[in-house]
Amino acid sequence: MKKRFLALGMGALMLLPALCGVAACGGNKDSKTYNITVWVGEGTDTLTKQQIQRFNETNEDGVTFNASVRIVSESKAVGDASSKPQSCADIFCFAQDQLARAVYGKLLAPLNNGSVNAITSSCDERSVEGAKIGGTIRAFPLTYDNGYFMYYDKRVVKEEHIGSLEDILADIDAYKGEGGLPRNFSMNLTDDGGSWYSASFFYATGCESEWTTDDEGNFIDYSDTFKSENGLIALKGIQKVLKFSKYHASAEVSDFKAGIPSAVVVSGIWGYNAAKNALGDNLGIAPLPSFWVDANGNGQKDEGESYQLKTYLGSKFMGIKPQSDLYRVAYLQKLAQFLTNEQCQKERYEAVGWGPSNKAAAASASSPALNALKESATTPQGQYPTGWWAKLDVMVGNAKTSAGDDASLNALLTTYSNALNELKKS
Amino acid sequence: MSKRETMELAIGGEMLPMHPLLNFKYQGERYAAFTPADSADPSEEGEVALTHVTTKIESSNGSVDLSAIKSNDNLERKLLLILSTCIIYLVLALCISFTTLVFVLWPKFWWIGMMLIIIGVVALIMLFPLHIAYAQLRKQRRLQGLQKVTCYEVVPCEGNDPIFAEFEIRYQILEKLSKNQQLSMLEYQRLNFRQKFLYKLKMFFRGIPRWFARKFKRLGLRLKAFGISIWENIKDIGRTFKNGSWKTRVSYLFMGFGNLSHRQVLRGILFFLFEASFVVFMVLSGGHWLGKFGTLGTTAYETVYDPELGEATIRVDNSFKILLYGLLTIFFIIAFIYTWRLNVKQCRILDEITATGKRVKSSKEDIQSLADNEFHKTLLSLPVLGIVMFTVLPIIFMILVGFTNYDYHYDGYGNLFTWCGLDNFNTLFAFGSKLSLAFGEILAWTLIWAVVATFSNYFLGMFVAMMINKKGIKIKKFWRTILVMTIAIPQFISLLYVSNLFAENGIVNATLMRWGWIKNPIPFWGNGTLAKVMVLVINIWVGIPYLMLITTGILMNIPADLYESAQIDGANAFQQFCKITMPYMLFVTGPYLLTNFVSNINNFNVIYLLTQGGPRHFAWGEVGGYVAGDTTILITWLFGITTGSEASYKMASVIGTLIFLVVSIISLIVFTIMPSTRREEDYA
């Protein structure tokens, strides 16, 4: 209780200047320089430094930032921050699937009204929805391109076959390269992080997994239909790929240049430049294909029913670490607004090809990779407990060695389904 | 005395099983050897007498050289120590597990009982070879006439007839053993290999109850001694207060006062400063940490929200800090209690010295002694402090984390963690769970990996060194340089390179397919068994050069005349290797072998850089968001769990604790029995 009073007292002290009429985000001509650290994704560190420099030059408040910018992968930023919260950057970028974890770990605080208005007025509604936990916006949408599609080698996979998984696999199987060297089909289904890709099979068959969080980022409820007839079909589809003799568990576009090269790599927008360098004009980009499963399982094309694979589509966000100084909070949010505004997102798109979340910037952005993503069948990236990915990962991994009959696959689905309750409790 | 030397001995009176009075005649003089009437083991008295005979003769004077006898007992004592320790653990394990299983008072933790039974069985299996080694040693010593019990007196003796030769004495001793239902040496030698083994096995298990009784008695005595020493300390504190001067009494409250009043300024100031710093620390910080140590914090943060500015967060408690600083505080308190006791003791000594009228040591003399007869304290104080701070404290901290719920959900910052008892151990050992299955298999593979990796490198490295050293091999430097090239490249680079080389879509598979040797890629890293073989083979590749360099020097130092003698005696190359090279190598490189084994148990680099622990073994499920693989060893599992999506530090700590136990137990046992711990003369 004593601490609570102390905290409230400190808060009141911090609010005092604001109550006296000194606006934090406008009109304050007191010059002050904040030392901050910023974590950004690969390839954007130099650009971010330039953008912060521009902010310092144009900011009318007189407040400037002396920023130390470091590259930390968006997929690992929240994990790193959780393990060493004190050393977490003041501003950090992270993938959408990490949002609930960041809120739960008290790595993100609610935004002020100015930031919320700026985000809702300028960003794509889907990315704004993705930024919410318990109905409250917690971070600044940085991109809206976090999905995956298919890079392929036109010499191996015929263009008319790219819509069907069976045709693609048949093309690859039939291909004999120089010296009889075959080609692989690369899709990460069983390696680390494979569940992000394997989920596309479940969404293709109409399965759903929706998790509800409270304001603190706790997962309080879920609705998961993976354990169903549709889930069984999805697992059969996955098995079809896993048991393909030229399947390679990877999402690296560098596979195009491997000893035994891949003809298809399922990856995201971040792999475009490397894929282009590897294949040049032979590079083809297409949305994920559909797959066939009949009543007996391993259906060939035109037997049974076709299911269109669906990629997740989500955002990357820019978050602000909780601060004890309210002014610092306000100015950091102002900087984050700047770094995610139309101009900065355009610059980011031009530099590294990231698809903007800002509506105005997105309207003018067009590239083969972005177009493939726009044409893809998608599922909005939701919030999932971190354990959910691991459970899905284990189920798909076990499907590889499973006999493949309905009973054994259903057993895997049951194990998965039973494990979900533990996640809700946590 | 040489074993083959014949001497005249006379044994008078009833030799066995009575306490002996052994008389003998040597070089025309008659002697008698006594052993104390309260000798610990009357059954060995016959041998005792021989000891003194031997020693007496060797020393060629009227007294017995006891130090020689004792020093020759070193190895035996060490073996006894190991055996006794193992037996104690065994007894504890069996007792606790039986208690747990029979009474089923705590069914949730039934696995503790199971684990202890397994420990017991493993201990028995490990004890058997030790027992055989010990029996061999005893036999050797007996034949040499060297035994361990203390002799008190050797005096000339008259009146008995000198009769027996050495062989007869040996025979009598073995006869004595046969009375205890053991075979005589001749009978034993008649047995075939299987019978010998079974006989040893039988004798081993038959000997266990006697060992139990003896070691329990010793353990009881030690515990009693420990209890008595604590009680004596407490009594001494009380006695000192009652009988001590007023200065001493004041020192109970103000440390160092007694020293200061006796003009030991330096000691007094140091004591006082220590007390003052302790009090200041406890008031300003230690009390706070200690107060929260029981809960590890109650409030993580407080927030203040302003719609225009945002939310400010004020951190209150941090479980991680509380655990760490709380532990530090406890260490400080222990150090304080020890120092306070030292202060009281010194005051008592000062009182005693003053009472006798002697002069107490001055500060100058104190300082001088630190550079002279107390120099060990000067040298060791910093290292000891360093070990406590940087080794002991982190180990205890790590172990304590295993008793909390510290993970991604409760990171101690946004959400505080707290104590959870044995829950994590229970999770790991839950009967039939995937996790316990995974743990068992990973532990087994870790030990297999460590043994094979260590010995394959050791022997192959030695063979390579021997081949290069062999006469007639040309351009030796060239061969050595080629091998050393492996060391020149940083291991993480070469291993990552090799990992990619053998990838399923890597250059090796591509080349083999181009040549038409294989139709489908070989899953070097995709098949569990193949991946295990691969990491072992690649480890040989990176490990041999080190062993080659180490053993080259040692091999060149083995005296050539040993080999020459062996050749003259008709020994072939294999016999020379077994009887000369290997014993010498084991003697010199024993400690290296042990450290290498331990480092292989924790060989993160080779496993992680080559396979990342894969191929992933999905049947084991996941822990902390991490799926272990077929080549995962405990240390890479620990790493995977902490860096997995759920960052389960608590489970990582449990595994770390188990690694610590495995490594320390193996290290202690092996280090104590290895030949290198013997004196060189013993070895020779």
Within 8 A of B507 by CB-CB distance, chain A residues are 259
Within 8 A of A181 by CB-CB distance, chain B residues are 510, 513-514
Which of B305, B401, B505 should be substituted to probe chain A, the one whose Cβ sees the most A Cβ atoms within 10 Å? Answer: B505
The answer, yes or no, to whether residue B653 has pLDDT greater than 90, is yes
Task: Name, in order, each residue with C-beta under 8 angstroms of B323's C-beta and a sequence gap of 6 or more.
Answer: B293, B296, B397, B400, B401, B404, B412
Contact B494, B542 (CB under 8 A): yes
**Residue B508 shares a structural domain with residue B609:** yes
Radius of gyration of chain B (CA): 33
pLDDT of amino acid A404: 78
Residue burial A277-292, b: 16+ Cβ < 10 Å; e: rest: ebbeeebbbbbbbbbb
Query: What is the extent of the structural domain holding B476?
Result: 425-683
Domain boundary among B388, B417, B446: B417
pLDDT of amino acid B127: 59
What pTM does this model have?
Answer: 0.74
* Cross-chain residue pair B313–A109, CB shorter than 8 Å: yes
Per-window interface: B 273-332 vs A, CB < 8 A:
299-316
What distance in Å separates residue A259's CA from the closest CA in chain B? 4
pLDDT tens-digit series, residues B336-356: 999 999 999 999 999 889 888
Say which DSSP state A190 is in. Answer: S
Nearest CA in chain A to B405: A426
Domain boundary among B358, B383, B417: B417
pLDDT of amino acid B175: 35
Q: Which two tokens stand for residue A277?
A: 């360098």
Tell me the C-alpha distance between B361 and B262, whole Å: 9
Say which DSSP state B620 is in. Answer: G
Low-confidence ranges of chain A (pLDDT < 50): 1-29, 426
The amino acid that residue B28 corresponds to is G
The answer, yes or no, to whether residue B141 has pLDDT greater than 60, is no
Q: Give the one of A107, A113, A179 whose C-beta lies nearest to B308's C-beta.
A: A113
The mean per-residue pLDDT over the stretch B590-606 comes to 88
**Residue A220 shares a structural domain with residue A137:** no
The mean per-residue pLDDT over the stretch B292-319 comes to 88
**Residue B566 shares a structural domain with residue B594:** yes
The answer, yes or no, to whether residue B329 has pLDDT greater than 90, is yes
| Max avg pLDDT among A377-386, B274-283, B374-383, B539-548 | B274-283
pLDDT of amino acid B53: 36
The answer, yes or no, to whether residue B75 has pLDDT greater than 50, is yes
**Residue A135 shares a structural domain with residue A232:** no
**Residue A367 shares a structural domain with residue A388:** no
The answer to whether residue B24 is domain-embedded is yes
**Residue B376 shares a structural domain with residue B433:** no
Tell me the C-alpha distance between B549 and B642, whole Å: 37
pLDDT of amino acid B5: 32
Is B684 in the A-facing interface, judged by CB distances under 8 Å? no
Tell me the C-alpha distance between B388 and B331, whole Å: 9
**Residue B644 shares a structural domain with residue B503:** yes
Q: Give the one of B312, B622, B627 whose C-beta lies nearest to A326's C-beta.
A: B312
Q: Give the up-direction half-sphere exposure of residue B489: CA atoms within 13 A in the CB hemisphere.
A: 15
Query: What is the extent of the structural domain holding A27?
Result: 20-146+314-373
pLDDT of amino acid B449: 94
Within 8 A of A179 by CB-CB distance, chain B residues are 513-514
More confident residue, B583 or B518: B518
pLDDT of amino acid B304: 86
Q: pLDDT-derived band of residue B252, with 50, 70 and 90 as boundaries? A: very high
Domain boundary among B387, B417, B447: B417
pLDDT of amino acid A75: 84
Q: Where are the alpha helices (DSSP H) in B470-506?
A: 476-488, 491-501
SS3 B683: helix
Nearest CA in chain A to B410: A105
Nearest to A227 by CA among A358, A391, A104, A98: A391
**Residue A81 shares a structural domain with residue A186:** no
pLDDT of amino acid B188: 75
**Residue A35 shares a structural domain with residue A114:** yes
Residue B567's DSSP bridge partners are: none
Nearest to B247 by CA among B364, B368, B360: B360
**Residue B497 shares a structural domain with residue B348:** no
Contact A202, A234 (CB under 8 A): yes
SS3 A106: coil
SS3 B504: coil
The mean per-residue pLDDT over the stretch B385-398 comes to 92
Query: Percentage of residues in chain B with pLDDT exceeding 70?
Result: 70
**Residue A142 shares a structural domain with residue A170:** no
pLDDT of amino acid A7: 44
Within 8 A of B406 by CB-CB distance, chain A residues are none
pLDDT tens-digit series, residues B262-279: 888 899 999 999 999 999
The answer to whether residue A13 is domain-embedded is no
Domain boundary among A336, A351, A373: A373
Per-window interface: B 497-516 vs A, CB < 8 A:
503-511, 513-514, 516
The mean per-residue pLDDT over the stretch B284-298 comes to 93
Task: Name, in order, each residue with C-beta under 8 angstroms of B129's C-beta and a sequence gap of 6 or more.
Answer: none
What distance in Å separates residue A49's CA from the closest CA in chain B? 25
**Residue A322 shares a structural domain with residue A294:** no
* Cross-chain residue pair A104–B409, CB shorter than 8 Å: yes
The answer to whether residue B159 is domain-embedded is yes
Which of A195, A321, A386, A418 should be substituted to probe chain B, the one whose Cβ sees the most B Cβ atoms within 10 Å? Answer: A386
Q: Where are the alpha helices (DSSP H) in B388-421?
A: 393-401
More confident residue, B132 or B638: B638
Q: pLDDT-derived band of residue B104, with 50, 70 and 90 as boundaries? A: low
Q: pLDDT-derived band of residue B664, with 50, 70 and 90 as boundaries? A: confident
CATH number at residue A78: 3.40.190.10
**Residue A254 shares a structural domain with residue A293:** yes
Tell me the C-alpha distance between B233 and B241, whole Å: 12
Burial grade of A33 (CB within 10 A; 0-12, 13-18, 19 or more): exposed
pLDDT of amino acid A110: 85
Count: domains in chain A: 2
The mean per-residue pLDDT over the stretch B73-92 comes to 59
Q: Which two tokens stand for residue B354?
A: 């003053």
The answer to whether residue B139 is domain-embedded is no
Q: pLDDT-derived band of residue B445, with 50, 70 and 90 as boundaries? A: very high
Q: Picking from A225-229, B453-457, B551-555, which range would have the lowest pLDDT averaged per residue?
A: B551-555
Tell me the C-alpha distance between A281 and B592, whole Å: 58
More confident residue, B201 or B405: B405
Contact B363, B267 (CB under 8 A): yes
Q: Picking from A313-317, B88-92, B192-196, B517-521, which range would have the lowest pLDDT averaged per residue?
A: B88-92
Tell me the C-alpha distance between B211 and B130, whole Å: 14
Q: Give the one of B305, B408, B514 whose C-beta lies nearest to A179's C-beta.
A: B514
Q: Number of CB pairs < 8 Å for A and B?
A: 180
End-to-end CA distance of chain A: 27
Residue that is written with structure tokens 């902490």 in the block = B642
* Cross-chain residue pair A104–B506, CB shorter than 8 Å: no
Instruction: State the complex-level ipTM.
Output: 0.83
Count: domains in chain B: 3
Task: Name, in order, each residue with C-beta under 8 angstroms of A134's C-beta and a sequence gap of 6 or more.
Answer: A213, A214, A215, A216, A217
The answer to whether residue A7 is domain-embedded is no
Contact B50, B63 (CB under 8 A): no
Domain boundary among A350, A373, A396: A373
Q: Which two tokens stand for residue B23?
A: 């008389």
